Structure 1
């Protein structure tokens, strides 16, 4: 079986290649560059706990050592604190780090992975599809033909893959613009991020209507100033003036000390590809969508694309193509991103427009501050990861289904679980291996050795039911799970999204839910193809 061809060696492409390798699928990553990344302190990413865990288990690197977990968040309006929150629990805070650091960790992991081949100086210029695979051609010093089973375009906003497949990319250009600076300085509350709207000082240069400050390691901060509509040039002189005025306003020091590391202008576009799949060709990341207003992070959505697609391609690679399963990638991910884009487009006029009815509505400003805070922190309709509750892979409702603290289709909570070998590990550590996870909630088991309870109670019956599932699955036991009663059984997809929660051991219902999560019964053609291999 030919490898999967991944076009683009950015964070999304490298994440996809490593996720495939974790499921024993080889890949070739076509990198049009020399295999090195330019360090840009002003180009950063914010990851939630789920995407952070994804990258850490693929790279074996502790990203928290290379970035900053915010201790808290504040929303200010003029001189007043409107909203404030602290992150007391480990893992609950967003992680902020430079994008080149993230890419470097992924590239290092890919370089030592034997199932990942990195082809540098390889720019794609042709794609040909056949019923049995994909053939591509690259130009450059190492230009050649490549043969693959599938191809995934992770090649950014100007995606060559998308253009070669003639896929439309409609949307809005320059929804927002921000002047950006990365600098080393001392600010009050050095471990907290904050958003300052309509600060009490005014001056020349970029608009002071909204400023976001996000801390990075070693006393470095990324500052973003929302620019007024239009294409006014942001000169270095005007940006330096704004930096000094902003730091003076925050510290009270008329000559604040700082070291300017990097600057830029960040333009936010909102676009969504019409199709994310064309036969054996898929799109992911910025090749499929562009978003980023209100602090939302497009890269995090790209990592979710890779996580969603990897296990589906792995099943198709090992067991034969299952069209319903492969089609579900577009259905799930495009719907999730489209929902965030709609929420942003609907909310943008309310938050950015001046005057009007909202000026006279009591509490409108506080409500807007709450929306913005949630967007920056990865919560609510503007920031929270999408759920797959309307997925074509969702099982039919059954009487034995019970509610838990996680909605069906949402990412599961990271609780400690006992694995089949007796090890106590985080639930998210068992994700991404290509297997479904079956989690039994059994209070009290943690105080007993596994050999005492593995053959007692409902365990033998549940173990037999797991063995009979249509694809390999791993049985795990948790002492507790948010909102789940004792003896509840959770079925979890390889990418960590909840399929269903059942009241006790229900072999028939468990089998039906697993079959649905895998795209339904595997057709005769897929079985025949798998047998031929």
Structure 2
């Protein structure tokens, strides 16, 4: 079968190529650039725990070591500390969050790690200097044409547009991209400097030293490796030019204010202006064409970061394209990509748009909306920390892939459709691994909660108790599945059985071994009974012709 054609060689496109390769699906990545990225320390991304784990799993390298995990977070208003958070295993400070901190990394470093992982990947071909200019869909596949020094026709099974907010793929499919332009605008500087709070990110609203210039009254500082910091100043609405002199003035004013004295010595490394748009594509699928990342959505106001959602797009789409590529199209499964991902991103955009009038200076609504200043600051902090409606990863509770009512279903601390907790499990080969290490392999995961098994080798209990019956039920599922065992899982009773999607979202939790319920849930997560190949192909062709 023809490879998947991925248009765009940014982090989302490269991640999708690796995710497909891990499920034995070949792809061609069309890169309109020269195949390398200009180092820009003022262009960085913040990744949450789940997306960092995804990248490390796909690249096989410790991506986190190339960036900086925040030691803590401080939110200030004028001279007052509104909230202070520490991360890690050891409590430190008034508020402590367990688990890995957000990861701050330069985008060119991240893209370089993804490119390095693809060098020896035989299932992925990266074609540089290849700019898409035409697409032609057919019942049996799709053809793409590129122009440039290596202009040619490419034959593929599917096309995924990961080519950014000005997506050629989206325009060729005549998909509308409504939304708002310049929701926020920030002046950005990357500099090497020593600050009083080493390794701790900072959000400072209404700093007391602010001048009448376009500082916007809000400054964010985020640490990078080797003593480098990225500083962002919120700019007022409009298109006022950010001159070098103005930016240097903000740097000197801010550093002097933070160190409570003369401006400390610093090395200015890079500057820029970051403009945030809020847009959402009307459709994310047209026949054999899909959109992902900034081609499908633009978000990023109030401290949120759109790359997280783009990487989740790639993870969601990869495991759905894999069975379609190997076994023939399953339209309900492919359609669920748009249903799930668009709903999640739309909810985050709505939450940010509703919060903007509360949190941004100059809005007349602030005088009429109830709520404390502290509450408003907490809402903004949620975006930066990946919490709440603005920042937290979405769930697929209303997914078309969710099973109906199951007789043996029981509640656990993870709701249906939410990402599972990363507990330690025993794999089929007897090794102890983290649950997230088994994701992205194109298989469902069936997790048995069996206290006491962690102290014995698997060979001693693999054929005892309920294990043989559960193993037989897993073998009979309509999709490849891996059986794992854990000592415990948050909120799960002993002998509970959890069914987990290949992208790590919970399908259901059952009380004990219930083969009929397990089969029904597995069938539902595939979109229902798989259609015959001829019927599926005809349906795909009809969808392409109806756009």
When residues 513 and 267 of structure 1 are mapped into structure 2, their CA distance, relative to the original with a 3 A threshold, is same
1:273 to 281, 284, 289: 281
**Aligned-pair CA distance for 1:407:** 1.3
Structure 1 match to 2:487: 479
**Aligned-pair CA distance for 1:206:** 2.9
**Aligned-pair CA distance for 1:361:** 7.8
Secondary structure of 2:386 counterpart: coil
Count of aligned positions: 530
CA contact (8 A) 1:358 1:364 kept: no
When residues 113 and 30 of structure 1 are mapped into structure 2, their CA distance, relative to the original with a 3 A threshold, is same
**Aligned-pair CA distance for 1:484:** 1.1
Structure 1 match to 2:542: none
- The question of 1:143 aligning with 2:144 is answered no
CA contact (8 A) 1:443 1:486 kept: yes
Q: Deviations over 1:39-92 (max 9, x none)?
A: 100100011111001100111110121001111111100000001111123742
2:252 to 235, 244, 247: 244
Structure 1 match to 2:55: 55
In 2, Cα distance between the equivalents of 1:360 and 1:295? 24
CA contact (8 A) 1:122 1:138 kept: yes
1:325 to 333, 339, 364: 333
- The question of 1:212 aligning with 2:224 is answered no
CA contact (8 A) 1:319 1:527 kept: no
**Aligned-pair CA distance for 1:191:** 0.9
- The question of 1:43 aligning with 2:51 is answered no
Structure 1 match to 2:410: 402
Q: Deviations over 1:201-226 (max 9, x none)?
A: 12254315111111111111111111
Structure 1 match to 2:94: none
In 2, Cα distance between the equivalents of 1:154 and 1:518? 24
CA contact (8 A) 2:330 2:536 kept: no
In 2, Cα distance between the equivalents of 1:285 and 1:528? 27
**Aligned-pair CA distance for 1:354:** 4.5
Secondary structure of 1:387 counterpart: coil
CA contact (8 A) 2:216 2:236 kept: no
- The question of 1:192 aligning with 2:173 is answered no
Q: Which runs of 5+ in 1 are unaligned?
A: none
Structure 1 match to 2:66: 66
**Aligned-pair CA distance for 1:406:** 1.1
Structure 2 match to 1:505: 513
In 2, Cα distance between the equivalents of 1:41 and 1:92? 23
Structure 1 match to 2:114: 106
Secondary structure of 1:19 counterpart: helix
Secondary structure of 1:195 counterpart: strand
Structure 1 match to 2:12: 12
Q: Deviations over 1:326-384 (max 9, x none)?
A: 00000000000000000011110011145767558886111111111111011100000
TM-score (norm 1): 0.97
Structure 2 match to 1:335: 343
In 1, Cα distance between the equivalents of 2:81 and 2:491? 34
- The question of 1:307 aligning with 2:315 is answered yes
In 2, Cα distance between the equivalents of 1:361 and 1:176? 21
When residues 142 and 360 of structure 1 are mapped into structure 2, their CA distance, relative to the original with a 3 A threshold, is closer
Find runs of 4+ consecutive structure 1 residues off by over 3 angstroms. 353-363, 525-529
TM-score (norm 2): 0.95
Secondary structure of 1:24 counterpart: coil
Secondary structure of 2:408 counterpart: coil
Q: Deviations over 1:94-152 (max 9, x none)?
A: 00000000000001111210000010100001000000000011011111110000000
In 1, Cα distance between the equivalents of 2:83 and 2:366? 19
CA contact (8 A) 1:204 1:238 kept: no
Structure 2 match to 1:391: 399
CA contact (8 A) 2:88 2:99 kept: no
Secondary structure of 1:315 counterpart: helix
When residues 347 and 355 of structure 1 are mapped into structure 2, their CA distance, relative to the original with a 3 A threshold, is closer
Structure 2 match to 1:22: 22
CA contact (8 A) 1:322 1:526 kept: no
Q: Considering only aligned residues, what root-mean-square deviation do their CA atoms show, in Å?
A: 1.5
In 2, Cα distance between the equivalents of 1:516 and 1:527? 19
Secondary structure of 1:393 counterpart: coil
**Aligned-pair CA distance for 1:451:** 1.1
2:354 to 329, 343, 346: 346
Structure 1 match to 2:423: 415
CA contact (8 A) 2:222 2:229 kept: yes
Secondary structure of 1:443 counterpart: coil
Structure 1 match to 2:34: 34
Structure 2 match to 1:233: 241
- The question of 1:158 aligning with 2:166 is answered yes
Structure 1 match to 2:474: 466
Secondary structure of 2:222 counterpart: strand
In 1, Cα distance between the equivalents of 2:127 and 2:217? 45
- The question of 1:264 aligning with 2:247 is answered no
When residues 360 and 426 of structure 1 are mapped into structure 2, their CA distance, relative to the original with a 3 A threshold, is same
Q: Deviations over 1:166-203 (max 9, x none)?
A: 00000000001011111110111111101000011122
When residues 365 and 506 of structure 1 are mapped into structure 2, their CA distance, relative to the original with a 3 A threshold, is same
In 1, Cα distance between the equivalents of 2:60 and 2:183? 37
In 2, Cα distance between the equivalents of 1:328 and 1:63? 30
Task: Indicate the larger mover: 397-406 or 520-529.
Answer: 520-529
Secondary structure of 1:85 counterpart: strand
Structure 1 match to 2:304: 296
When residues 462 and 141 of structure 1 are mapped into structure 2, their CA distance, relative to the original with a 3 A threshold, is same
Q: Which runs of 5+ in 2 are unaligned?
A: 90-97, 538-547
In 2, Cα distance between the equivalents of 1:528 and 1:372? 46
In 1, Cα distance between the equivalents of 2:88 and 2:145? 51
